[in-house]
């Protein structure tokens, strides 16, 4: 499909509410945000941090407006959530209609159609033509916890295999599944048991380099599972098809299909955590599709509902239905307003081919990021897929992480009105997650701000 130059007004259709341009009228943060920040410090727990202390009053398309009237370019999407844009017209319309009718009955008490419709969509859109069932929850962590519960119940096994650099959430079980200590796990233990961590196929950092990674990573993992856990003890292998918080690590081709096949051979449930990669972010509805991988269970959240809290576990009917009635659920899981939002978000993704948009964003961003890497040897790697892209910063000529330059570049972006995020086990990765509806003019401008930031630091 030929998209041509998508200017933002077109990208948003007739419903554009906010001028789609960067406009700074104060320093960042301005006086109104600073006042709110002082209030925040007196009322909100310190453990809940923020990236950029501007207080938001409005957001839509590719911009975020703050309390001082500054308009910033959004390259974060609230951490890969508002892929359809903030307050997307179809989401707003469905939510408004639903909220005026009823807001909660609890699906486990008296069900409603919206929940069923979301599960039907999940069954249709997730990889594989097999019969599926879904269950809905409130957050990504809750979805991952439930996927683990389901896999253990279905297999009557206990061991869960996870990977270095993995991020699966902040609840007790998902902290144990997550790799990075600070800030996610430090002094929050004791953690859940029967979790086994394997090396991740991380091309930049695999001993011996990229080719060795492609050649050896799968065999290494299989051998470690065999010798240290025993295939017959493993309930599930849980993996993000492209790691999110851990640094946007893309495994080499063949790693995920090989892992899925290994699981099939040994009766292990293969769980793809698509919470960050899902819903068109990587240029397909789900990142597993890129290599034709069909997981047994898929966890979803973030992009599913245009910003409202909703998450899901979707998978093979026989695995999902192995759990007894009442074994899954929660008071708010699949709340009717969140389900209405999800139906609006999914409708938007299909109608506006947001998977195609994600691919187009990748086509625009990759050459600019490669150009930066050529100019600045501090950039050791450019990676990602579709609209989930990152650069990793190291001391030139080494693999030593450079979190100081990373932070300095991102701060300079913030000062210039670009919301950019970091990630990575070593805090040395800058990640880009623009809303998929962002206009190409804003995308270009955001990339220019990034280039200026590198020139300045």
Task: Catalog residues that contact ligand PLP under the rule CB under 6 A.
Answer: 79, 139-141, 144, 167-169, 240, 244-245, 273, 275-276, 301
- Does the N-terminal peptide bond of residue 14 adopt cis geometry, omega within 30 degrees of 0? no
Sequence-ordered strand ranges (E) for 372-432: 379-385, 388-393, 418-419, 421-423, 429-432
CB of 239 to ligand PLP, least distance (A): 9
Closest CB to ligand PLP among residues 89, 247: 247
User: Is the CB of residue 162 less than 8 Å from the CB of residue 196?
Assistant: yes
Closest CB to ligand PLP among residues 247, 446: 247
Q: Which residues pair with 64 in a beta bridge?
A: 59, 72
CB of 90 to ligand PLP, least distance (A): 22
Closest CB to ligand PLP among residues 169, 333: 169
Closest CB to ligand PLP among residues 121, 240: 240
Closest CB to ligand PLP among residues 139, 406: 139
Distance CA 295, CA 128 (A): 8
What backbone phi and psi angles, to 5 degrees, belong to 7? -80, 160
CB of 307 to ligand PLP, least distance (A): 12
Q: Buried b vs exposed e over 136-157: b needs ≥16 C-beta within 10 Å? A: bbbbbbbbbbbbbbbbbbbbeb
User: Is the CB of residue 152 less than 8 Å from the CB of residue 377?
Assistant: no
Closest CB to ligand PLP among residues 79, 457: 79
Closest CB to ligand PLP among residues 275, 280: 275
How far is CA 240 from each of CA 260, 337, 397, 406, 427, rounded to the nearest angstrom?
12, 28, 29, 24, 19
CB of 441 to ligand PLP, least distance (A): 29
Distance CA 437, CA 12 (A): 7
User: Is the CB of residue 200 less than 8 Å from the CB of residue 167?
Assistant: no
CB of 82 to ligand PLP, least distance (A): 14
Report which residue's Cβ sits closest to ligand PLP. Answer: 140
Query: Dihedral of CA 203/204/207/209: which sign?
Result: positive
In eight-state DSSP terms, residue 457 is -
CB of 174 to ligand PLP, least distance (A): 7
CB of 159 to ligand PLP, least distance (A): 20
């Amino acid at each position: 499909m030929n998209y041509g130059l998508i200017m933002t007004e077109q990208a948003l259709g007739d419903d554009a509410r906010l001028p789609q341009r960067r406009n700074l009228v104060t320093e960042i943060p301005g006086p109104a945000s600073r006042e709110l920040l002082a209030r925040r410090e007196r009322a909100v727990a310190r453990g809940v941090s923020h990236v950029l202390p501007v207080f938001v009053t409005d957001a839509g398309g590719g911009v975020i407006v703050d309390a001082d009237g500054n308009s910033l370019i959004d390259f974060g999407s609230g951490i890969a959530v508002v892929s359809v844009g903030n307050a997307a017209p179809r989401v707003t319309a469905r939510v408004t209609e639903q909220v005026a009718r009823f807001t909660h009955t609890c699906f486990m008490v008296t069900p409603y159609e919206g929940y069923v419709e979301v599960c039907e969509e999940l069954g249709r859109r997730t990889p594989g033509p097999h019969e599926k069932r879904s269950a809905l929850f409130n957050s990504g962590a809750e979805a991952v916890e439930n996927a683990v519960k389901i896999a253990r119940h279905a297999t009557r096994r206990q061991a869960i295999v996870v990977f270095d650099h993995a991020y699966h959430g902040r609840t007790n079980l998902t902290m144990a599944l997550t790799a990075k200590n600070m800030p996610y796990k430090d002094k929050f233990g004791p953690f859940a048991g029967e979790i086994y961590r394997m090396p991740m196929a991380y091309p930049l950092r695999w001993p011996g380099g990229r080719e060795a990674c492609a050649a050896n990573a799968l065999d290494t993992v299989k051998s470690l599972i065999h010798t240290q856990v025993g295939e017959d003890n493993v309930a599930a292998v849980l993996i993000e098809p492209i790691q999110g918080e851990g640094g946007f690590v893309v495994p080499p081709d063949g790693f995920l299909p090989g892992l899925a096949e290994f699981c099939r051979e040994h009766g292990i449930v293969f769980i793809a955590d698509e919470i960050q990669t899902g819903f068109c972010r990587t240029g397909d509805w789900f990142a597993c599709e890129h290599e034709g991988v069909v997981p047994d269970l898929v966890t979803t959240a973030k992009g599913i509902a245009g910003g409202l809290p909703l998450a899901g576990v979707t998978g093979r009917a026989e695995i999902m239905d192995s759990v007894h009635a009442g074994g899954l659920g929660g008071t708010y899981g699949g709340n009717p307003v969140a389900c209405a939002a999800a139906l609006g978000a999914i409708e938007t993704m299909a109608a506006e081919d947001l998977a195609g948009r994600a691919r187009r964003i990748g086509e625009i961003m990759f050459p600019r990021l490669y150009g930066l890497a050529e100019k600045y040897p501090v950039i050791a790697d450019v990676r990602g897929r579709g609209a989930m892209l990152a650069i990793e910063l190291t001391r030139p000529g080494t693999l030593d992480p450079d979190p100081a330059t990373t932070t300095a570049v991102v701060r300079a972006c913030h000062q210039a009105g670009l919301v950019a995020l970091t990630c990575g086990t070593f805090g040395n990765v800058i990640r880009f997650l623009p809303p998929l509806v962002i206009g190409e003019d804003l995308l270009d401008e955001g990339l220019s701000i990034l280039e200026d930031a590198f020139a300045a630091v």
